[in-house]
Structure 1
Amino acid sequence: MDFEEIVIPTERLSFPALAAGEGPIVVCWHGFPDHPASFGPLAERLVAAGRRVVAPFLRGHHPSTFDQLPFADGLTLAADAAAVNAALSPEPLDVIGHDIGAGVAGRLAAGWPSRVRRVITMSVPPPATLRHIFDDPAQQQRFFYLFMFQVPGVAESLLNSTLIEYLWRTWSPGLSVPPHVLSMYEDPQLRANALKLYRANFDRSLHDPSLSSMAQATEKPAPIPMLVLAGAQDGCITPDNYTDAATGLAPGSRVEIVADAGHFLQLDRPDEVAALALDWLR
């Protein structure tokens, strides 16, 4: 997919993004360890169907924003997404989020529903059900990296290409890490910011106090129906973690387990994911 790099000026930050196509906008938020360009195969299919795809870099994940991550909690990222939508259009926009981006999309829909038309999340259950995910010891083992990232020095030493290749290989069996992802994570400033996102799960000093009044609302089910996609072969968050997903979703939502897909299902099965996405966005 041939993307152009654009900058989206907002009241919060100027967000670098990859963009392609013309037509109604679909905003796509990436996760970890990943890059907006990994939406390429999905974007190619959305563009062919008459959509414009805009895939921003998460705050702190582009050289121009490395020093712009004082707070790294999920609510900060959702507020960023609301600002991006407002800057791109006065009308509500369609949003797709993968991995960390799934949390961004879910919290955006819960906290700023007027900014969202249709929502699709991939590879992470809805925010309102995530508190139960740590109840399973096997899932805690799969989240070893999350706990490892809390240890100063150890995390900085071990977040390298070897770990990233291992995570991709384990999460989506048979899938190789794209060169753009490895290149992105070569930068120590970006790695530090990625660790900060995970440390914000436990460190309240990394939460923006100006957004605290919205924290409760964004962890509740969004009022907007969502399409939740998961890979049947996901080695990070297994499909059984979606059994109770409906309790965290608005009526009219759907959960789809994509066969023969891992965590990076938009790369594993782009045709199937695009078909599901286009049907939902219509």
Structure 2
Amino acid sequence: MVAGGLEFGLLEAGSGPLALCLHGFPDTAHTWRHLLPALAEQGHHAVAPFLRGYAPTAIPTDGAYQVGALAADANALHHAFDGTDDAVLIGHDWGAFAAYAAASTGRWRKLVTLAAPPAGAWNHSYEQHKRFFYSYLFQLPGAERAVAADDFAFLDGLWADWSPGYPAADDLAEVKAALADPRNLTAALGYYRARMNPDLHQPRYATEQAATERTPDPPTLYLHGADDGCILPPDPTTTQALLSPGSKAEVIPGVGHFLHLQAPTDINRRILDWLT
């Protein structure tokens, strides 16, 4: 599928109004393998693209990895598939960042985000910055070597820390395949470099980039695992107040960062109920 001039690899199921599912790092479209068939059964055309730079999606020629570019991709995919007002958007981690901005600049009926709270709900404590050590490491020129060493053992460690006890071997195999080419790994780290360095932002995505600081327009369901080892759980009341009227924020006990993989039946039910 070509959208916005970029060739996307994707997984899809069903027919009907679009339900676009955006993954995060270090992850792939396969993270939605439990949700896609459930969305299809509910009457959606469920689509999970590999984000820009993650094989088999192409590496963008413009080298842009700012959140605004990811949001532009989501809106371009919406237009390429159907462009209707019935489409819904679901994002986890980086996919959530993209979804907030896309929902403020595109035509989406409802929004679901997981594991990355909206602007204003972040915890800025010492503990949180300690958990973000990897994002600071990724700013270094040699970060690719550290991440790729010993068959990407660094990524094994992140998954173990972020969702303790979850057997992630199948997911990690997909991630490692998507980032096996050094160019793809550099692309994935480019998200973090662009987030911390506005000089890497490109003017063509200025509208979507500005939307990263706005409240998304559609009613939003926000879900966060209580045992998330990456991002400290935000206060649900504060988070809900930062979203549009009619939104809902919940912290789910017993799961971590990859909550939709740890408790797929529960998380699917919450998402499907929300979309209905």
- TM-score w.r.t. the length of structure 1 is 0.89
Q: Is the contact made by 1:118 and 1:281 (CA closer than 8 Å) also made in structure 2? A: yes
Residues 231-270 of structure 1 mapped to structure 2, 5 A cutoff: 231-240=225-234, 242=236, 244-270=238-264
Where structure 2 has 5 or more consecutive residues not aligned to the other structure, the ranges are none
Aligned to 2:109, what secondary structure does the other structure show? strand
2:134 match = 145
Post-superposition offset of 1:214: 4.7
1:111 match = 105
1:72 match = 65
Classify 1:43/1:185 alpha carbon distance in 2 versus 1 (closer, same or farther; 3 Å): same
- Give distance in 1, aligned partners of 2:237 and 2:146: 33
1:212 match = 206
The CA deviation string for residues 226-280 of structure 1, in whole angstroms up to 9 with x for no partner, is 0001111111112146552134211111001122211111100101111111111
Post-superposition offset of 1:212: 2.2
Aligned to 2:250, what secondary structure does the other structure show? strand
- Give distance in 2, aligned partners of 1:74 and 1:18: 22
1:4 match = none
1:166 match = 157
- Give distance in 1, aligned partners of 2:83 and 2:268: 26
Q: Is the contact made by 1:111 and 1:218 (CA closer than 8 Å) also made in structure 2? A: no
Aligned to 2:16, what secondary structure does the other structure show? coil
Residues 58-137 of structure 1 mapped to structure 2, 5 A cutoff: 58-92=51-85, 93-112=87-106, 115-126=107-118, 128-129=119-120, 132-133=122-123, 135-137=124-126
1:24 match = 17
Post-superposition offset of 1:169: 0.7
Q: Is the contact made by 2:162 and 2:228 (CA closer than 8 Å) also made in structure 1? A: yes
The CA deviation string for residues 6-59 of structure 1, in whole angstroms up to 9 with x for no partner, is x2x223323221111223321000000001011101223222333321001111
- Give distance in 2, aligned partners of 1:237 and 1:243: 17
Aligned to 2:141, what secondary structure does the other structure show? coil
Post-superposition offset of 1:69: 4.8
- Give distance in 1, aligned partners of 2:18 and 2:238: 31
- The residue identity in structure 2 corresponding to 1:182 is K
Q: Number of aligned pairs?
A: 269
Aligned Cα root-mean-square deviation (Å):
1.8
Q: Is the contact made by 1:35 and 1:57 (CA closer than 8 Å) also made in structure 2? A: yes
Post-superposition offset of 1:166: 0.5
1:271 match = 265
Classify 1:163/1:25 alpha carbon distance in 2 versus 1 (closer, same or farther; 3 Å): same
Structure 1 ranges of 4+ moved more than 6 A: none
Identity of aligned residues (%): 38
- Give distance in 2, aligned partners of 1:247 and 1:150: 33
Where structure 1 has 5 or more consecutive residues not aligned to the other structure, the ranges are 1-6
- Give distance in 2, aligned partners of 1:12 and 1:247: 37
